[in-house]
Amino acid sequence: MAANRPRVKVPKTAKKGDVFQIKTLVTHAMETGLRKGKDGNPIPRDIVNTFTCAFNGKTVFTMKLEPAISANPYIAFYQQATESGDYTFTWTDDAGDSVSKTASIQVS
């Protein structure tokens, strides 16, 4: 199952030098590979293993996820405002499928 419904919260405006929080959420089952299905066979692992955040094309934050991260992974982190631009968020799962979302910020 590919990740879907990415949601991000980035302030629309910020003053130069401000430190602000970015919150992200994506819908994904994050199947651990430890659970057994109804037929007694293990359900294969299927997780979002990488999350990246790039600002104007430059990677500023990366997270490597393990099966111990909860379903529908929530990730929050901080950024410092330097210039106006676009944040691009990308989630990649075990099958190699990825989903992206972009958010802009106006820095004064």
Which residues of this protein are in contact with another protein, per CB under 8 A? 19, 32, 34-36, 55, 59-71, 73-80, 82
Q: Tell me the closest approach of the beta carbon of residue 52 to another protein, in angstroms.
A: 9
Residue closer to another protein, measured from CB, 75 or 99: 75
Q: Tell me the closest approach of the beta carbon of residue 60 to another protein, in angstroms.
A: 4
Distance between first and last Cα of the chain:
41
Residue 71 has a CB neighbour count (10 Å cut-off) of 12
53 contacts: CB under 8 Å, gap ≥ 6: 22, 24, 59, 60, 61, 62, 77, 87, 88, 89, 90
Q: Tell me the closest approach of the beta carbon of residue 73 to another protein, in angstroms.
A: 7
Residue closer to another protein, measured from CB, 69 or 99: 69
Residue closer to another protein, measured from CB, 41 or 70: 70
Q: At 91, which amino acid appears? A: W
